[in-house]
Amino acid sequence: MQLTGSQILIECLKEQGVDTIFGYPGGAVLNIYDELYRHQDEIRHILTSHEQGASHAADGYARSTGKVGVCLATSGPGATNLVTGIATAYMDSVPMIAITGNVAVNLLGKDSFQEVDIAGITMPITKHNFIVKDVDKLADTLRKAFVIAQTGRPGPVLVDIAKDVTANKAEYVKAEISDIERVKDTIIGSDVEIALTMIKESKKPMIFVGGGAVISEAEDALMEFVLKVDAPVTDTLMGKGAFSGEHSYYTGMLGMHGTKTANLSVTECDLLITVGARFSDRVTGNAKKFAKNAKILQIDIDPVEINKNVLVSHCITGDIKEVLTILNEKLEQHNNKEWVEHVLSMKEKFPLKYRGDVLTGPYILETLYKLTEGNAIITTEVGQHQMWSAQYFIYKTPRTFLTSGGLGTMGYGLGACIGAKIGNPDKTVVNIAGDGCFRMNMNEIATAARYQIPIIQIVFNNHVLGMVRQWQTLFYGQRYSHTTLNDNVDFVKLAEAMGAKAYRITKREEVEPILKKVLALNEPVVLDCQIASDDKVWPMVAPGAAIEEVFTEEDLEAKKG
What confidence category does residue 558 fall into, taking pLDDT thresholds of 50, 70 and 90? Answer: confident
Report the C-alpha dihedral over residues 498, 503, 504, 509, rounded to 10 degrees.
Answer: -170
| pLDDT tens profile 68-125 | 999 999 999 999 999 999 999 999 999 999 999 999 999 999 999 999 999 999 999 9
| pLDDT tens profile 32-62 | 999 999 999 999 999 999 999 999 999 999 9
Q: Which entry of 42, 113, 171, 452 is annotated as an active-site residue?
A: 113
What is the helix (H) or strand (E) element at residue 70, kind and residue range? strand 69-73
- Side chain identity, residue 423: G
Residue ranges in 272-313 assigned as alpha helix (H): 281-284
Q: Annotate 310-334 with DSSP letters as a single string.
A: S--SEEEES-HHHHHHHHHHHPPPP
Handedness of CA 276, 56, 250, 544 (dihedral sign): positive
Q: Is 549 a catalytic residue?
A: no
Q: Which entry of 51, 268, 366, 381 is annotated as an active-site residue?
A: 51
- Please name each of the domains of the chain with its CATH number: 2-171 (3.40.50.970), 189-349 (3.40.50.1220), 361-537 (3.40.50.970)
Taking alpha carbons only, the member of 127, 118, 110, 113 closest to residue 160 is 118
Can you tell me the mean pLDDT for 346-357? Answer: 96
- Quote the CA–CA distance of 531 and 65 in Å, as a whole number: 33
Q: Is 442 a catalytic residue?
A: no
Can you tell me the mean pLDDT for 149-178? Answer: 97
| pLDDT tens profile 435-485 | 999 999 999 999 999 999 999 999 999 999 999 999 999 999 999 999 999
Q: Is 208 a catalytic residue?
A: no
Q: Which entry of 15, 114, 144, 169 is annotated as an active-site residue?
A: 114
- Quote the CA–CA distance of 241 and 245 in Å, as a whole number: 7
Q: Is 240 a catalytic residue?
A: no
Q: Which entry of 11, 130, 146, 163 is annotated as an active-site residue?
A: 163
Predicted confidence at residue 560, as pLDDT, reads 78
Q: Is 329 a catalytic residue?
A: no
- C-alpha 481, offset from chain centre: 29
Q: Is the pLDDT of residue 177 over 80?
A: yes
Taking alpha carbons only, the member of 426, 428, 402, 401 closest to residue 415 is 402
- Side chain identity, residue 7: Q
Q: Which entry of 467, 472, 536, 540 is annotated as an active-site residue?
A: 467
What confidence category does residue 311 fall into, taking pLDDT thresholds of 50, 70 and 90? Answer: very high
Q: CB 269: neighbour CB atoms within 10 A?
A: 26
Q: Annotate 198-258 with DSSP letters as a single string.
A: HHHH-SSEEEEE-HHHHHTT-HHHHHHHHHHHT--EEE-STTBTTB-TTSTTEEEE-STT-
- Quote the CA–CA distance of 45 and 26 in Å, as a whole number: 14
SS3 108: coil
The whole-chain average pLDDT of the chain stands at 97
Q: Is the pTM of this model over 0.85?
A: yes
